[in-house]
Amino acid sequence: MKRSQKDIEDSARVVGRRAIVMGGLFLGTAGVLAARMRYLQVERADDFRLLAEENRINIRLLPPERGLIFDRNGVLLAGNEQNYRITLVREDADDVDAVLEELGRIVNLDLVAIERAREEIARRPPFVPVTVADRLSWEELSSVAVNAPALPGVNPEVGLSRFYPLGADFAHVVGYVGPVSDYYIEQTGDTDPVLQIPDFQVGRYNVEARMESALRGRAGTKQVEVNAAGREMRELDRDPATAGSDVQLTIDAGLQNYVEARLSGESAGSVVIDCESGEILALASAPTFDPNLFVRGISQTQWTTLNEDRYRPLANKATQGLYPPGSTYKMIVALAALEAGVIEPSEEIGCTGHIELGDRRFHCWRRTGHGRVDLVEAISQSCDVYFYDLAQRVGIEAITAMALRLGCGIRHDLPLSGIAEGLAPTMQWKRENRGSDWVVGDTLNASIGQGFVLTSPLQLAIMTARIATGRAVEPGIVRSIDGVRERRGTAPALGIAPENLALVHRAMWQVNNDRRGTAFESRVMEDAYLIAGKTGTSQVRNITTAEREAGVIANEDLPWERRDHALYVGYAPFEAPRYAVSVVVEHGGGGAAVAAPIARDILLRAQLGTIPPLELYPVSQRRDIEELHRRLPILAEPPVPSGRATGPRDTERDRT
């Protein structure tokens, strides 16, 4: 049927409209696609470029070099040494067990090491490197590098590990570092990403721990290109790590070595302090231990040996040990009484060997008594009865106030672990902690440094320095950080009358230099090095009436743990005090016989800077002293300064 012209025109109009609609749809679709392509290729180009880069580029942390620790003369106390190790990244290894087995054949890993590595790999996120082998030789590291294509996910690395060149001498000052543990992170709340670096070491004890933020430094990063198997192809960019700060301590390495040697064989603590500046020159605890054991991974046998030793080598007796101060506390009682004006210096008190208080008898250490003695004689001869009488007049509150003024019963702020506060008791303290009222007998016990009174060797050294100078000397153990000296101004005066201090000074001089003084056997034979001090003996057991009547059992006849503690505090030279020392020997017996000779040697070594010559000792003692010094484990050569601690980074600025 032939279509009419009108039908043809209508059909053409319909087709035209449809073509226009379809063309519009195609053009719209093309426009949308073009706009989307422009959005993805232009506006989101940086985002997609980053996603692509992440598929072939890894960002890895660079561990910072830990800051070094030096003594006051630049002797290295804590350094870093190269450590070759092998790490494995789980997500880059095709088959972890197969890789470990192959690696074990190359570097001779034992089954225990492989199992330990498996446990650590399973515990860590798949992208975190885990150390499989540590402290390898260069030959072993090279063998792993040569076999790298057959060990996917394995990376030979050169890192740094802490080491302590002077070993045991500084374990109780510098401390040690150890690997990061989950417990450490939980306790500290530290979220620094650097802690995820395999075998990264953090401070665990003493200066290493307390100055962790300064010593750690800041991690760097590097961008490396990797292939499909995760193997590193090349380094693209690097932001270097920032090394930790170098710390210089006030400790003298030579003196520290001598003190540790002089305490060897004992369970003891000693502190030497500069009387003027308060800088701690030596802080020793015996026996000690090698901190390198903890860095390299201490064995169970070594740990058990240290932990079960009855002399407690892991405890820092100089700062953590608390002991009844015995008669070294008598200077505190004397100054409290003099300042309160309850006694005249020339007043004498009779000692018959004991006093009666109610139905109880308080004894003097000398069974027959001292007769009539004044304050100077009471200190130099250590008459207990004199101080029993004095304490009743002055009272415990004034005694404790003086103890606090002289630095006892206070936790001193030093970057050391577990510094003990000690105890200078008051009436209120006993009510709150013992649930009973203070009685006069408590005061009498406190007057001779027994009862509730507890002090540390650190506190006793500070007390002695304050008595020697009349100033509130504050202890310090950090000399500089990155060459910036710590500011140590002149200590303020204690506010104690000079004439009262002079009286105590004279009494302490007589302790060592008067024939009736308790430490006369530990005198020095040259005026320029004269020592003033005070002996102390603190009981650790009760002596019954029956034992006193039969005769008190000598210390050497008792089991070691029931013997008295031996103490001594002193300063030198007498005319111009420069050094103060405290010595506590656990269960050592009498302070005069055991602690005083040690303290004399330490003070002479501090003054002279070398082993004391025999001419400074009484003639009758010289042969024994010579033999003693021959046997002591003293360094044959003094430690050599490294030069870095006092090098170009030193500055005249003070750190506030």
- Residue closest to 293 by CA, chosen among 283, 308, 305: 305
One DSSP character per residue, 278-329 reads -BEEEEEEES---THHHHH---HHHHHHHHH-TT-TTS-TTTT--B--GGGG
pTM higher than 0.75 = yes
CA–CA separation, 413 vs 497, rounded Å?
27
Residues in contact with 207: Cβ distance below 8 Å, sequence separation at least 6, in sequence order: 69, 173, 174, 175, 247, 249, 415, 416, 477
654 confidence band (pLDDT: 50, 70, 90): very low
The overall average pLDDT reported for the chain is 87
Q: What does the alpha-carbon distance between residue 347 and residue 338 come to, in Å, rounded to a whole number?
A: 11
* Predicted local distance difference test score (pLDDT) of residue 649: 40
Which tokens go with 605?
């070594």
Q: Does the pLDDT of residue 118 top 90, yes or no?
A: no
Question: What domains appear along the chain, each with residue ranges and CATH number?
Answer: 58-249 (3.90.1310.10), 253-611 (3.40.710.10)
Residue 282 is predicted with a pLDDT of: 98
pLDDT tens string 398-434: 999 999 999 999 999 999 999 999 999 999 999 999 9
Q: Do 192 and 202 meet the contact criterion of CB atoms below 8 Å apart?
A: no
Q: What is the dihedral of CA 334, 335, 341, 346, to 10 degrees?
A: 50
Q: Which DSSP helix (H) or strand (E) runs through 598?
A: helix 596-608
Question: Which residues are the active-site residues?
Answer: 327
d(CA 562, CA 138): 54
For residues 463-480, give the mean pLDDT: 97
End-to-end CA, the chain: 111
What is the per-residue pLDDT across 11-27, written as a single tens digit (0 to 9) for each? 767 667 777 777 777 77
Using pLDDT thresholds of 50, 70 and 90, give the confidence band for residue 548. Answer: low
Residue 655 has pLDDT above 50, yes or no: no
Peptide bond into 287 cis (omega under 30): yes
Structure tokens that stand for 319 in this block? 């700062």
Using one digit for the tens of pLDDT, what is the confidence trace for 302-325?
A: 999 999 999 999 999 999 999 999
Q: Which of 338, 339, 369, 334 is nearest to 353 (CA)?
A: 369
pLDDT in tens, 159-212: 788 999 999 999 999 999 988 887 888 888 888 888 877 778 899 999 999 999
Residue 55, pLDDT score: 52
Phi then psi for residue 575, to 5 deg, are -70, -30
- The overall longest dimension of the chain from CA atoms, in Å, is 157
Residue 549: which pLDDT band, with cuts at 50, 70 and 90?
Answer: low
Q: Cis (ω within 30 of 0) for the bond into 573?
A: yes
**How far is the C-alpha of 70 from the C-alpha of 79, rounded, in Å?**
9
As a whole number, mean pLDDT of residues 533-538 equals 96
